[in-house]
Amino acid sequence: MPAARKPAALRAHDHDRCIEDALAAAADLCRAQGARLTPMRRRVLEILWQSHKPLGAYAVLDILAAEGRRPMPPTVYRALDFLLAHGLAHRIPSLNAFIGCSAPGAHRDGQYLICRNCGTVAELTDTGLAAELGRTARAHGFAIESVLTEAVGLCPACAGTGAGAA
């Protein structure tokens, strides 16, 4: 089988297009599921997509506040909960932060590559890894339902610039 395409977060790309595509995909997915992508939810998703770095809930809140809306924490958390529930965003537990999902279709059991230097996060969706772990767990009588993998290291851009010596 062909190697999976390199995640956009790890290569040069037209990021405006990246955002556009993500929002369009989200709109489609919500329409298909009868879910309401309200202005607040859409705006939060757009904010998460402004970069490939995850944002904390309060960072999202600060951006919204700077725009004139002055939402309180629950409003932001509810929008984030909606996005998580519909597979449009992910939470990175080790960072207490959120990021737009790059694969709203196959968003389960992803692997996150977190650059410890610049904070960029790339999402992989190698289903084989989760399957392999699932087999091992099953052998021990444990029935896995979902898997989350967080890898920390250096992204291509940072690996090349001697960031490792920091």
Partner DNA sequence: CTAGAAATTGCAACATTATAACAATCCTTT
Partner DNA sequence: AAAGGATTGTTATAATGTTGCAATTTCTAG
Among the candidate windows 29-37, 60-68, 77-85, 130-138, which touches a second copy by CB under 8 A? 130-138
Structure tokens belonging to residue 60: 């999202």
Identify the residue among 85, 105, 151, 161 touching a second copy (CB under 8 A): 151
* Among 9, 100, 106, 7, CA closest to 46: 100
* CB distance 42 to 80 below 8 Å: no
Residue 3's binding partner, choosing from DNA, a second copy, none, with beta-carbon cut-off 5 to 8 A by kind? a second copy
Residue 17's binding partner, choosing from a second copy, DNA, none, with beta-carbon cut-off 5 to 8 A by kind? none
Structure tokens belonging to residue 144: 């896995």
Angle at 132 between CA 92 and CA 91, to 5 degrees: 10
Cα torsion through 25, 124, 132, 109, rounded to 10: -50
Residue 36's binding partner, choosing from DNA, a second copy, none, with beta-carbon cut-off 5 to 8 A by kind? DNA
Q: Does 7 bind a second copy (CB under 8 A)?
A: yes
Among the candidate windows 12-20, 58-66, 78-86, 115-123, which touches a second copy by CB under 8 A? 115-123
Q: Which is nearer to a second copy, 4 or 32 (CB)?
A: 4
